[in-house]
Copies of this chain bind each other. A is one copy, B any other.
């Protein structure tokens, strides 16, 4: 009897990633997959696995989400995240929320405990408190490397406008579980030097994250461009229309690149466990797990 397929892919951001940075952070991708792939094998739901994978990214200081988030123009930190359950086509997000170490979990609380799809700003933080989440000061989310980048860009008199073509820096995960259910999650500290109150693609169903009965998708890159083309929805619709996940990921990246500025990447898994990973930037932090190949993190 054939085993039911399962699969997991993660991304830690696409953009102008140097080979040195890629090599330095590559082991973290392997560790995150090493912790979450066994959950999937042991029967955890796709929703549990993508949430945990994104939490591990959020906790890791090297990626632009949770600890290690980008600083806004004014030096503050505001976070976006989404999670979506393909089996119900229900998802939710939080946008421009401060003080939350695990925004992906807050997005899950919005999904489970409110009738809403998007909660933003101070009210999302207040809701986090009501859910029993401990809020932290910006200082606990800011790492020296991100602060230096912010200081360097301010000193160079760069503006929010200058950043839109630079790397988004997002983390995300997509999974197919043993019950055949799909889920996707995405989280980000947003764009360095962006204006306070800016919400990017990682908070928006259809932009940074989408999941339905056919596939689950997480996108990364220039948020404003991803929002204008609805990149995750483009990818998911391509799978519905018969493309393989790899073809769909490549199509969605091409649609972004052909129609809007900047670069992007996408990871996608379909309901048979086939994976797609594509990007039009220099590189994308990425890796995946399938029972046949085990954990794979490209060199």
Contacts and interface: CB of A to CB of B under 8 A. Distances in A.
Interface of A: 89-91, 95-96, 114-124, 126-127, 160-161, 163-164, 194-200, 203-207, 223-224, 227-230, 233, 237, 259-260
A89 B259 contact: yes
B228 A198 contact: no
Contacts of A228: 89-91, 117, 205
B117 A197 contact: no
A127 B74 CA distance: 14
A125 to B, nearest CB: 9
A87 to B, nearest CB: 12
Contact of A122 (B117, B122, B223): B122
A164 B126 CA distance: 21
A195 B230 contact: no
Given A95-B118, A160-B116, A230 B230 contact: yes
Nearest to A206: B230
A230 B227 contact: no
17 contacts: A90-B228, A95-B199, A96-B121, A114-B160, A116-B194, A116-B195, A116-B198, A118-B198, A118-B227, A119-B195, A120-B199, A121-B197, A122-B197, A205-B227, A206-B206, A206-B230, A206-B233
